[in-house]
Structures are given as structure tokens and as C-alpha cells.
């Protein structure tokens, strides 16, 4: 009898399930073998356990049919041995038994068989039964293999994402997946305990972490945090993101945590880079305007809470233009650097470490005094923020010191220069209740110092004021604007520069007041102050929905209209209902409305806004973060928010090709967006150059005057009617050239 030692590898056989049939009875082998072949199996026969095991070395079958009772090595022994052969652990084995008793069935399972089949007297007639059983085994085995494969795919994906999972049980301690071990720079064999892991966390952070862990365990709450990790054998600092959920037993007692860890160092580096570039002046290294305004906001918040006074000093160099013009820009820059250095020395906290402020989310931990700063507003203008002063004399003393430190000549281009400054001082709350007012009033005071002969400081006073009535009038008129239908929405298209097509539009509000079109900057802030923003925004939402329906009907418009909303609208529990109502009233899908929320606004009340974001996301309303890059978001939050789009702030676009930092910011934002799976759009694109640079950096969706200003709805129709493509703007050729899409170039450059 020839043992079935033929190879399984031929291609034809592969299409059919391969069966290794093992029986010592030649007749059975023949009959069963023929029956299975007839039913589409590729059968290989073995007349003994030994022969079967030998056959395995020629290739694995998909299933083994094994007679239980055989001389020498019986089916049970054969199966047991088979299971020890590498690769055979999971091959399905069907044990044929003539003994329909519990004992042999149990033995079959114990020996590692997958299933059994009873050889009855007429079993030779039960082919379809055997066939069905084998096919079932094969299906189950395939499913298992697929699961196995996707499991290893998941592990690989996790490894790529530098992510791994862990389990922590109150009873048995910590278990990390191999991928999770790698996140901590550990190998399989390394000793592991929660204690050992904690030791990798720097001491100060460890205390905070332990407190947080204790709190979470005590309350059985979800744990999400970023932890710095510095194991001694690692180079540099790593940041590991931890997310874990508690698990409970039937009695509702917490038994442990299950979660994931991810190495987010790269993301952190990108975030830090964005922050730094966006917040510091490249020339002097001082905080820039943005950073200063942010600090001032925080300082006012604190002062409001605690009840003390703050001061804002606006410092302007006298006659800097003359110096700049006579000595040249290079020397002008050197001079500014030196002025910056001296001014900085005039405030108590001369170290202006950004992180000190950012990371102290709990402002309570670090003193608000760390907000103290001298920053550069731009050109030759500087600002000093004094987060706490006793009275105006306190602030004036600092101003005097600034005048004094300028007495020493500054040497640039081997020339001694004498520089003086004029300083204007405004105090919170006396001279203004918000940063904008304080800035304006310190500016007024600074001009009065200049007017009085320069090289001096001046305090703001009501005698310098002149506004107030205007504002009241405006408020009254705005109240009436809604009733009188004086508000209109203009639309600015969002363009995909590769196809030169509109892919959506942003609604921007205007106020038709008498014969003039009032821009939003002149009434939105006031509306926000007075609460009128709510009816205004509600109007904008329903107007946008109505417009979408009109365009849908006439042009098959299927994109979305982005409506700008301040955070206070997101706080309202009825925002989602309201949107639902306005879109259903117009019979358009929810996704026609997209919402833009500015980064600052979002971060200001993140906790209140998050639930609304999730609900909006559920009904299909997408969210974009406006003015992105200017805020001070803890960017790691972005990972958890259901947002779709980041809108790169106009200021970065404006400086593209001018200041190298701006392209660095854009690059960093794009990298961040990619890693978070978000779309990116650039706003304020005015020149071909900007468009080109953006495109090269990887931005394809843009908005800006280059393509179109915000226009009344009827003017947008040219864009809506994309079959006409009646645009002949210079950028179109450019954009399509970049994409090398000659067909669209041709269509787009022929004006109708
Ligand atoms: P935003 O949301 O950042 O809107 C973009 C602003 O940039 C618009 O100014 C737009 O006209 C302008 N813009 C667009 N392209 C360019 C460009 O290429 N160059 C320049 N220099 N500017 C460009 P607009 O319409 O005056 O709106 C100003 C701000 O007012 C908006 O900033 C938004 O924050 C707010 N706003 C506008 N409409 C609404 C509204 O319906 N509700 C609320 N809450 N705020 C609105
Ligand atoms: Ca916007
Ligand atoms: Ca914007």
C-alpha cells in the first residue's frame, strides 16, 4: 500500500481543499478517498499514523481525517504528535471513531482533535454528512486564520503607530502587549511592574501622575493623559499618551483597567514647534503680539477673579524710522534686539518661558505673575504686561525704569546711537475691562506722551477718551437690524486648486445699514458682548440652509455652506435641535451646514463645547477649526474631538514667502492634520505666490481674494455653474499646471 507521500504543492490541487486521510484499512481508504474526491476534495492517503506524520513534512493539508483505531500508533497518539509539529497546531483534525461512546470522544478531544465522526455500520453511505462536516471544519479554520491575520495586522499597525495595549488588574498586576512594551523601550524579557514603569517618569511628573492614577482608581473613572517618559537607555524625552477604561465585575466592583499607550513624541515636537513659531518674535525672541494678547487675557481673568489691578504698557521707540533709514535695516534690527534685551530687564520675571504658562493649565499652580512679559507687537512697538500692580505708581515706576535703561547709548555698526522711548500706561480695571480696550487706551496714552515731547511716559485718563455714545447707538440699531431684514450673507467659495472647482462656501455676514454695507468686525464683537449674537447666528443658520436649498434646486449644489459660530452658541443645548429644524424645514440634508469655530473660542470653553460637537457630528454636521495656529490649544485634545477640518489662519498665509517661520508653521500644521486625519484649508490666499507655496506644502483647498472675495449669493452662481467654468483668472492655469491636468486647464481658461 502506498503511503500518501505526494506533495500538496501543485497548483491545481490548491483550489480544492486538501484532505489527509489516515486509515489502516485499505478498503476504507479506497472507498472514502474516492467519495471525497468525487465531492471536490484533493485527497492524500496514509495507511498508518507514522505514514501520516511523515506526509506532513511535504506540506500541510487543510484538514486531517484520522481513524482512531489503528495498530502501533493509533489515531489518538498520531493526533497528539501532530499537534506538536510546528504549523500543525491549528490544522483541523476529524477523528473517525467506530466506538460511539463518551470515553473515546473525550479521548479524541484530549488528544487535540477538532471534531469526531462516528463510523457506523452504514457509514460508507453517509458521504454527504461527512462532506458537510469537513466543509464546516474548513470554514471554521479559515475564519480563525483570518482573525489571526487581522490580529497580527492590528499588531503591526499598532507598532507602526507606536501604540500598544495593556491590561492592569487589581489582583494580578500589569500586562503589556509586545507593542506596548516597545513604546516604553522594553523587550519581552524585561522585568515589568507598574512601579518600574513609574520610575521612568521624571520625579515631578510622577507625583502628579500617581495622584491622577489614585483618583481614577478611586472613582473608577476613565483615564486619559500624556506622560513624559525618560528611561535611562532611551535618548531624549518621550511622551506617551495613555488612555484606559475601568472594568467592573458582576458585583460592580472595579477590577482593573484596560487601555492603550501610544508614543506621541513626534506629535508633541510638532506641537511645540507650532507653538513656538506662532508665539515668539523671530528677531528678538520676545513673545509676539499673539502671545502677549493671550497672556493679557489670562492676566485679566485672574485679576477679575482675585480683584487686583493689572497694567499694560505700550512702548514705542522715538524716531526709529530715522535710525533705520540712515543706518540700514541690518543695524535697525540689531538695535531692536538690544532694546528688547533692555526692556526685558525692566520687569521682574525676565524668564519668559512659554511652557511655564502653557503647561500650567492649572493657573493656580503657578503664580499668575509668570504671565508677566515684555513682548514685541511689531516694528518698533513693544508691550509690557504687568499682571499685578498695587496702583498706577507701581506701573509708572516700571515705565520710568524703561526710560532710564535707554539712556546708555547703543552701539550698532560701530556707531553710538541714542534711543529714547515713549510709554503709555493703562490699568485694569480703571482704564478698560478687556484687553482690546486696554490696548487702545495705552496707545492713546502713548501718543499723548509723544505729543508732549517724547522720551516720556503717560497714564491714560478719561480726558483722553472720546468714544462711548457711538457704541450705544450701534447697539440699538443692531437690535432692529434683524427685524428689519437688514442682515445679509455673502459667500466666499472654497476652491480645490487641482480642479479649479468650488468645493463649498463660507457664509460671511454683512449688515446693510442705510446705504452702507457694514463688515462683521464692526458689529459682531458688540453682538457678542450684548448677547445679540444668538439671534444673529440663528438667522445665519437658517438663511444658509435656505440658500443651500435654492442652489441645490438650480445648480445641484451638493457641497456645504460653512457658518461661523461663536462658542457660546455651541454651549447651548438646543443648537443641534435648531440646526436639525432649519435644515429639515428646507428639506436639505444636515451636511449642507458646516460650522466654523475659532480655535480660541473652542479652547475657551472646551468642556462645554465637546458634547455639542459630538452630537453635531452624529447628525452629520461637520466642524472646522477656524484661525488655526493662532490659539493656544492643547493640541492633544484635537485627537479626541470630532472635527473635520483645520483652517490655517490668514496671518500665516499672508507671510508665506516673506517670513520663513510662516511656512514652517504651515508645514507643521499640515503634518499635524495628517497625523490626525483632518482636512486642511488655507484662507486669505491673495497671490499666486501664496497659492503656489501652499500647494507645494500640500494644501489643495483654499479660499481668498485670489479666487473670489465674499460676494452676494447671485454672484456666486458663476462658481456654482461649474459646467460653464466662466473663470479666466490667472491662477487657474497656474493651479492646474501644478497638477498637470491639461483637460481642466483647457476647460477653465476659456471665459464664456
Ligand atoms: P473669518 O471667519 O476668519 O472670515 C474670513 C475673513 O477674511 C472674512 O472677513 C473675509 O472677507 C476675509 N478674507 C477672505 N479672503 C481674504 C483675503 O484673501 N484677504 C484678506 N485680507 N481677507 C480675506 P469678514 O467677512 O470681514 O469677516 C471677518 C470675521 O467676522 C470673520 O472672520 C468671522 O470671524 C466674523 N464673521 C463673519 N460672519 C460671521 C457670522 O455670520 N457670524 C459670526 N459669529 N461671525 C462672523
Ligand atoms: Ca470663518
Ligand atoms: Ca478665519
C-alpha of residue 215 to centroid of ligand 2, in Å: 40
Among the atoms of ligand 1, which is closest to the Cα of residue 710? 11
C-alpha 681 to ligand 1 mean position (Å):
14
Whether residues 614 and 672 share a domain: the answer is yes
CA of 508 to the centre of ligand 1 (A): 6
* Mutate-to-test residue for ligand 1 from 504, 564, 709, highest number of ligand atoms within 8 A of CB: 564
Cβ 227 vs Cβ 239: under 8 Å: yes
Task: Determine, yes or no, domain membership for 473.
Answer: no
Cell output for 595: 460650522
Q: Do the Cβ atoms of 726 and 718 come closer than 8 Å?
A: yes
Q: Which helix (H) or strand (E) holds 423?
A: strand 421-428
Structural domain contains residue 646: yes
Peptide bond into 429 cis (omega under 30): yes
Whether residue 468 is contained in a domain is answered as no
Name which residue sits closest to atom 17 of ligand 1, judged by CA. Answer: 684
Q: Which residues does 464 contact at the CB level (< 8 Å), separation at least 6?
A: 441, 444, 445, 448
Last residue of a domain, one of 125, 155, 185: 155
Non-local (6+) Cβ contacts of 581 within 8 A are: none
Q: How far is the CA of 653 from the centre of ligand 3 (A)?
A: 11
Q: What is the pLDDT of residue 354?
A: 44
Which of 122, 155, 188 is the last residue in one of the domains? 155
For cell 491575520, what's the residue? 149
CATH of the domain at 555: 3.20.20.450
Cα–ligand 3 centroid distance for 65 (angstroms):
70
Gap between the Cα atoms of 109 and 91, Å rounded: 14
Q: What are phi and psi of 655, to 5 degrees?
A: -90, 0
For position 147, which CATH number holds?
3.40.50.2300
User: Is 557 a member of any domain?
Assistant: yes
Query: Looking at the structure, do residues 367 and 243 belong to the same domain, yes or no?
Result: no
Closest residue by Cα to atom 25, ligand 1, is: 508
Q: What span, in angstroms and rounded, lies between the C-alpha atoms of 344 and 213?
A: 41
pLDDT of residue 748: 38
Which protein residues touch ligand 1 with a CB less than 6 Å away?
A: 492, 508-509, 519-521, 524, 537, 540, 564-566, 596, 626-627, 683-686, 703-705, 710
Q: How far apart are CA 64 and CA 318, in angstroms?
A: 94
To the question of pTM greater than 0.75 for the whole model, the response is: no
Nearest CA to ligand 1 atom 8: 508
Characterize the bridge pairing of strands 163-169 and 254-263.
Answer: antiparallel
- pLDDT bucket at 363, cuts 50 / 70 / 90: very low
For ligand 1, atom 46: residue with the closest CA: 564
- The rounded distance, in Å, linking the Cα atoms of 107 and 116 is 10
* Contacts of 171 by beta carbon, 8 Å cutoff, 6+ apart: 255, 256
In a domain, 275, yes or no: no
Q: In this structure, is residue 415 part of a structural domain?
A: yes
Question: How many angstroms separate the alpha carbon of residue 600 from the centre of ligand 1?
Answer: 15
Distance 322 CA to ligand 3 centre (A): 36
Q: Label each residue of 285-301 as H, E or C.
A: CCECHHHHHHHHHHHHH
CB distance 142 to 126 below 8 Å: no
The owner of cell 511523515 is 54
CATH number at residue 218: 3.30.450.20
Both 490 and 446 in one domain: the answer is no
Q: Are 17 and 41 in contact (CB under 8 A)?
A: yes
CA of 493 to the centre of ligand 1 (A): 12
In this structure, how many other beta carbons lie within 10 angstroms of the beta carbon of residue 713?
A: 17
Indicate if 58 and 173 belong to the same structural domain.
no
Same domain, 604 and 498: yes
Is the same domain home to 557 and 515? Answer: yes
Please name which of 136, 90, 140, 95 lies closest in space to residue 113, comparing C-alpha atoms: 95
The reply to whether 377 and 357 lie within a common domain is yes
Nearest 5°: phi and psi at 304? -60, -45
Cβ(199)–Cβ(179) below 8 Å:
no
Let me know whether 148 and 165 are in one domain: no
Write the residue with the smallest CA distance to atom 45 of ligand 1. 564
The answer as to whether 322 is a domain residue is: yes
Domain termination residue (choose one: 155, 183, 209): 155
Give residue 417's domain range.
Answer: 284-460
The CATH number linked to 416 is 3.30.70.270
By 3-state DSSP, what share of the chain in percent is helix, strand and coil, each rounded to 5?
50, 20, 30
Ligand nearest to C-alpha 709 = 1
Ligand 1 atom nearest the C-alpha of 686 is 18
121 with 33, same domain: the answer is yes
* Cα 564 to ligand 3 centroid, rounded to whole Å: 9
- Of the bound ligands, which one is closest to the alpha carbon of residue 628? 3
The proportion of the chain whose per-residue pLDDT surpasses 90, expressed as a percent, equals 39
Note the pLDDT tens digit of each residue in 636-647. 677 778 999 999
Phi, psi of 113 (to 5 degrees): -80, 155
Low-confidence winner among 83-97, 180-194, 239-253 (lowest mean pLDDT):
180-194
Dist CA 94 CA 441 (whole Å): 89
Q: Mark whether 426 and 489 lie in a shared domain.
A: no
Whether residues 558 and 447 share a domain: the answer is no
Torsion (CA) 317, 322, 324, 327 in degrees, nearest 10: -130
Q: What is the pLDDT of residues 588-628, one digit of tens each?
A: 999 999 999 998 888 777 778 888 999 999 999 999 999 98
pLDDT digits (tens, 9 = 90+) for 54-85: 998 888 899 999 998 898 889 999 999 999 98
* Res 15 pLDDT > 80: no
Atom of ligand 1 nearest to the CA of 519: 26
Q: Work out which ligand 1 atom sits closest to the CA atom of 703.
A: 15
- Tally of structural domains, the chain: 4
- Whole-angstrom Cα distance, residue 341 to residue 502? 49
Same-domain check for residues 726 and 643: yes
Q: Are strands 679-682 and 645-648 parallel, antiparallel or unpaired?
A: parallel
Distance 5 CA to ligand 2 centre (A): 73
What was the pLDDT predicted at 92?
93
469 within a domain of the structure (yes/no): no
Q: Out of 35-39, 131-135, 145-149, 563-567, pick the least confident.
A: 145-149
- Cα separation, 351 vs 163, whole angstroms: 36
Top mutation candidate among 481, 508, 532 for ligand 1, by most atoms within 8 Å of CB: 508
Q: Which of 482, 506, 520 has the most ligand 1 atoms within 8 A of CB, as the residue to mutate?
A: 520
Amino acid at each position: 500500500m502506498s503511503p500518501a507521500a505526494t506533495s500538496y504543492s501543485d497548483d491545481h490541487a490548491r483550489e480544492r481543499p486538501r484532505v489527509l486521510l489516515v486509515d489502516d484499512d485499505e478498503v476504507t481508504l479506497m472507498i472514502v478517498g474516492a467519495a471525497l474526491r468525487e465531492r471536490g476534495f484533493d485527497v492524500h492517503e496514509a495507511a498508518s499514523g507514522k505514514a501520516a506524520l511523515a506526509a506532513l513534512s511535504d506540506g500541510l493539508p487543510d484538514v486531517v481525517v484520522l481513524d482512531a483505531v489503528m495498530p502501533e500508533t493509533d489515531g489518538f497518539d498520531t493526533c497528539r504528535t501532530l499537534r506538536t509539529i510546528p504549523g500543525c497546531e491549528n490544522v483541523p483534525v476529524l477523528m473517525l471513531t467506530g466506538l460511539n461512546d463518551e470515553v473515546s470522544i473525550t479521548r479524541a478531544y484530549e488528544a487535540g482533535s477538532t471534531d469526531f465522526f462516528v463510523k457506523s455500520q452504514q457509514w460508507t453511505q453517509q458521504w454527504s454528512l461527512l462532506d458537510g462536516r469537513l466543509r464546516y471544519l474548513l470554514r471554521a479554520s479559515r475564519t480563525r486564520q483570518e482573525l489571526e491575520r487581522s490580529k497580527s495586522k492590528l499588531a503591526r499597525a499598532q507598532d507602526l503607530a507606536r501604540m500598544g495595549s495593556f491590561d492592569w488588574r487589581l489582583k494580578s498586576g500589569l500586562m503589556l502587549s509586545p507593542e506596548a512594551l516597545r513604546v516604553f523601550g522594553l523587550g519581552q524579557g524585561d522585568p515589568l511592574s507598574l512601579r518600574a514603569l513609574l520610575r521612568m517618569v521624571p520625579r515631578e511628573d510622577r507625583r502628579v501622575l500617581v495622584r491622577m492614577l489614585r483618583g481614577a482608581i478611586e472613582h473608577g473613572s476613565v483615564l486619559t493623559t500624556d506622560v513624559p517618559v525618560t528611561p535611562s537607555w532611551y535618548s531624549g524625552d518621550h511622551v506617551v499618551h495613555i488612555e484606559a477604561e475601568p472594568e467592573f465585575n458582576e458585583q460592580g466592583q472595579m477590577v482593573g483597567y484596560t487601555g492603550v499607550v501610544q508614543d506621541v513624541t513626534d506629535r508633541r515636537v510638532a506641537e511645540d514647534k507650532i507653538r513656538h513659531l506662532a508665539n515668539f518674535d523671530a528677531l528678538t525672541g520676545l513673545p509676539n503680539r499673539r502671545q502677549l494678547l493671550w497672556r493679557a487675557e489670562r492676566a485679566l481673568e485672574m485679576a477679575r477673579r482675585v480683584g487686583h489691578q493689572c497694567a499694560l504698557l505700550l512702548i514705542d521707540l522715538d524716531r526709529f524710522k530715522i535710525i533705520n533709514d540712515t543706518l540700514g535695516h541690518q543695524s535697525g534690527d540689531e538695535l531692536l534686539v538690544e532694546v528688547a534685551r533692555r526692556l526685558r530687564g525692566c520687569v521682574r520675571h525676565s524668564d519668559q518661558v512659554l511652557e511655564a504658562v502653557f503647561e500650567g493649565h492649572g493657573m493656580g499652580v503657578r503664580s499668575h505673575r509668570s504671565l508677566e512679559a515684555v513682548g514685541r507687537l511689531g516694528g518698533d512697538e513693544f508691550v509690557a504686561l504687568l499682571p499685578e500692580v498695587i496702583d498706577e505708581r507701581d506701573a509708572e515706576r516700571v515705565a520710568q525704569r524703561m526710560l532710564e535703561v535707554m539712556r546708555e547709548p547703543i552701539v550698532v555698526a560701530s556707531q553710538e546711537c541714542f534711543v529714547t522711548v515713549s510709554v503709555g500706561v493703562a490699568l485694569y480695571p480703571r482704564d478698560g475691562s478687556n484687553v482690546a480696550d486696554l490696548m487702545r487706551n495705552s496707545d492713546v496714552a502713548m501718543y499723548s506722551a509723544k505729543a508732549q515731547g517724547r522720551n516720556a511716559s503717560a497714564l491714560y485718563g478719561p480726558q483722553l477718551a472720546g468714544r462711548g455714545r457711538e457704541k450705544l447707538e450701534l447697539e440699538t440699531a443692531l437690535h432692529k437690524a434683524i427685524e428689519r431684514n437688514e442682515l445679509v450673507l455673502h459667500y466666499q467659495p472654497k476652491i480645490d486648486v487641482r480642479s479649479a472647482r468650488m468645493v463649498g462656501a463660507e457664509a460671511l455676514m454683512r449688515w446693510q445699514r442705510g446705504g452702507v454695507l457694514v463688515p462683521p468686525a464692526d458689529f459682531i464683537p458688540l453682538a457678542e458682548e450684548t448677547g445679540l449674537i444668538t439671534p444673529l447666528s440663528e438667522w445665519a443658520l437658517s438663511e444658509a440652509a435656505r440658500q443651500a436649498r435654492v442652489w441645490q434646486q438650480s445648480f445641484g449644489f451638493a457641497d456645504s455652506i460653512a457658518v461661523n459660530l461663536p462658542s457660546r452658541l455651541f454651549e447651548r443645548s438646543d443648537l443641534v435641535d435648531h440646526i436639525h429644524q432649519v435644515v429639515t424645514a428646507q428639506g436639505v440634508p444636515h451636511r449642507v451646514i458646516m460650522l466654523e469655530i475659532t480655535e480660541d473660542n473652542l479652547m475657551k470653553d472646551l468642556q462645554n463645547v465637546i458634547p455639542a460637537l459630538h452630537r453635531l457630528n452624529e447628525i452629520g454636521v461637520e466642524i472646522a477649526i477656524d484661525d488655526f495656529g493662532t490659539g493656544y490649544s492643547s493640541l492633544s485634545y484635537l485627537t479626541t474631538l470630532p472635527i473635520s477640518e483645520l483652517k490655517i489662519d490668514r496671518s500665516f498665509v499672508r507671510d508665506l514667502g516673506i517670513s520663513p517661520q510662516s511656512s514652517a508653521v504651515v508645514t507643521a500644521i499640515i503634518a499635524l492634520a495628517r497625523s490626525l486625519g483632518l482636512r486642511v484649508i488655507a484662507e486669505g490666499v491673495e497671490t499666486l505666490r501664496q497659492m503656489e507655496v501652499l500647494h507645494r506644502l500640500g494644501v489643495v483647498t483654499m479660499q481668498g481674494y485670489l479666487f473670489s472675495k465674499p460676494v452676494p449669493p447671485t454672484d456666486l452662481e458663476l462658481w456654482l455653474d461649474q459646467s460653464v467654468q466662466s473663470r479666466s483668472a490667472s491662477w487657474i492655469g497656474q493651479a492646474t499646471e501644478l497638477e498637470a491636468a491639461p483637460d481642466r486647464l483647457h476647460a477653465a481658461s476659456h471665459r464664456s
